[in-house]
Structure 1
C-alpha cells in the first residue's frame, strides 16, 4: 500500500473518531462527590435517638446555625425533583444526582418560609444557593435537616444513609456494624386501615399510652404474646401490635481470627464451634447475647451484626 493511501486512511479514521466523541474535551468533569450543604454544627446525627421517652430513627443529619439568613447550598450538581411545603419537612427541596452512573437524592428541610430559590425541574450546580436555614415544619429551632438517599427518596425513607461518610469525595463507604444495645431487629410502623398513626401500648395487648406516626422506624428489644394470641413488639417506651409493624431482623456473621462457639443459652453450655463467616438471622437479644433460635445463642462480641 502506498504511503499516501495509508495517510488518507489514518486521516479518515481520525475524523470518524472525533465525530463520535472519541477524543476527550478540555472541560473539567462534573463533581463526583457531595459537600456539606451549610455552615454550622452537627446537632443530631443519623440513626436512633430518644425524644419524649420514645426511641425513633432520625434519617438525616441536623446542621444548626443561629445566624440570620444562613445559606443552604446544593451538596452536588443535579436536578430539582421537589420544591414545596411539607407537614414534617416544612419548606424543603429534593435534588436528584447521577454520580458514577448511580442515582442519589438529597433533601434539604426546614427552610425559611418563602426562601426557596429553585423550582421543580431546575438544574443546580454544586454549591448553588437553594434557600436559607429556618425552622418550618416539625422543628424545634433553626437548623437544616439534611438527608442523602442511595437511590430515590420515598415517604418511608428506606434508601436513607448517613450523609457524612459520603461528603468530600468518599463515595465508596465501608460497611458499618451494629453495636450491641439489646436490640435484634427494627420495626417500621404501618396501618392496615390507611390511618396516619397506630396505637402504642403500655403492655402486650392492653393499655394504650399514645400513638406513633405511620412510616417511622424503631428498634425492637423483644416480643411477647398478648391475650389475643398476637405478638407485640417492645420498641422502647411501649409495644406495637404485629399487624402495625414490618419487622426486619438483623443479620449476624461469625467473626474470624478466633474460635467462636454457639451455646444452648446465655452463659450456658457450649454446643459446638462455628466456622468464621457463617451467617445467621437473629431472633432475640439478651444480656450481651444474640439468639438464632430458642436453644442457640452467640456472644454479641463474636458476631459482626448488620441491619
Structure 2
C-alpha cells in the first residue's frame, strides 16, 4: 500500500501549477522535472492495490501528464519558429541593419505618442523594445565604431541603464551616398558589455547581454536608430531597416 509520505508528494504535485506557456529554458526544465515526477508516481500507483480515492488521483495524474507533454511540445515548436524568424531576418539581403538581439520578440514599437508603462504619461517611444526571459544576447546592427558606453548610475543617460552607442557610415536611404547613422542599445545587463569607447565593431558582433537596468518593467533591449548624431529629434523607426 502507499504510505503517507508518498500520498503527500502526490497531493502536492496535483496542486502545483505553472504558467500555461513555457517561454524560457528555466520554465521548460520545471515542466520536464514535474513530468518525470508525475510519471514516477503513476508507476507507484500501478504497482499497488488502489482504493477509490487513489483511482481518482491516478486519473488526475494522467491528465497532468498529458498537459505537461503538451506544454513541452508547444515550447519546442515556439523555439523552432523563433529560430526560423531570426534566421530570415538576419539573413535577409535587403535588411539594412542586422537584428540586434538573439530573440525577435518585439513587445513595443516606435510610437510618437505612447503611454509610458511606468509613469503613465504620453511621450514618444523613439525605438523598439525586444524582450525575452533567459540569456539573450545583443549584437551590433552594422559595422561601426563605439561612440560611448554608459553605466546605470553615471548620470549621463538616466533611465536607460547600462547602454552602448555605436556610429556607422551607411547608405541607409538607398541613394548611393553613405551617411552617419547612430544606433543605441539600452537596459543592458550590468557587467556584460563587451566593448569600450573607440572600439571598432563588425555587423552582428556580440556587444552585451539583455538586461533590465535603468527604468524598466522587465528584461528587454531598447533599440534606437538615428540619422546623424544621437538626438531625440532625429530618431527613426528601426523596423524600416531591419526587414
Q: CA deviation at 1:54?
A: 2.1
Q: 1:49 is matched with which residue: 90, 95, 114? A: 114
Distance (whole Å) between structure 1 residues aligned to residue 202 and residue 180 of structure 2: 16
Determine the structure 2 residue equivalent to 1:58: 125
Asked if 1:167 corresponds to 2:239, the answer is: no
Higher relative contact order (CA 8 A, sep 6+): 2
Distance (whole Å) between structure 1 residues aligned to residue 95 and residue 199 of structure 2: 19
Give the number of the structure whose alpha-carbon radius of gyration is greater: 1
Where does the alignment leave 5 or more consecutive residues of structure 1 unmatched?
A: 1-30, 169-307
Determine the structure 2 residue equivalent to 1:93: 164
Per-residue CA deviations over 1:91-131 (Å, capped at 9, x if unaligned) read: 10000000132110000000011110000000000000010
Flag as ranges the 4+ runs of structure 1 deviating above 6 A.
none
Instruction: Please say if residues 32 and 99 of structure 1, whose CA atoms lie closer than 8 Å, have aligned partners that are also in contact.
Output: no
- Which runs of structure 2 are paired with 1:15-26 in the superposition (5 Å)? none
Number of residue pairs matched by the alignment? 135
Distance (whole Å) between structure 2 residues aligned to residue 133 and residue 78 of structure 1: 20
Per-residue CA deviations over 1:226-283 (Å, capped at 9, x if unaligned) read: xxxxxxxxxxxxxxxxxxxxxxxxxxxxxxxxxxxxxxxxxxxxxxxxxxxxxxxxxx
Where does the alignment leave 5 or more consecutive residues of structure 2 unmatched?
A: 1-93, 152-156, 172-177
Instruction: Please say if residues 115 and 131 of structure 1, whose CA atoms lie closer than 8 Å, have aligned partners that are also in contact.
Output: yes
Q: 1:35 is matched with which residue: 98, 115, 140? A: 98
Per-residue CA deviations over 1:19-52 (Å, capped at 9, x if unaligned) read: xxxxxxxxxxxx9821210113111111121135
- Computed over aligned residues only, the root mean square deviation of the Cα atoms, in angstroms, reads 1.6
Q: TM-score, normalised by structure 1?
A: 0.42
Distance (whole Å) between structure 2 residues aligned to residue 54 and residue 84 of structure 1: 25
Q: TM-score, normalised by structure 2?
A: 0.53
Per-residue CA deviations over 1:40-87 (Å, capped at 9, x if unaligned) read: 31111111211354211101000001022x100001110000111132
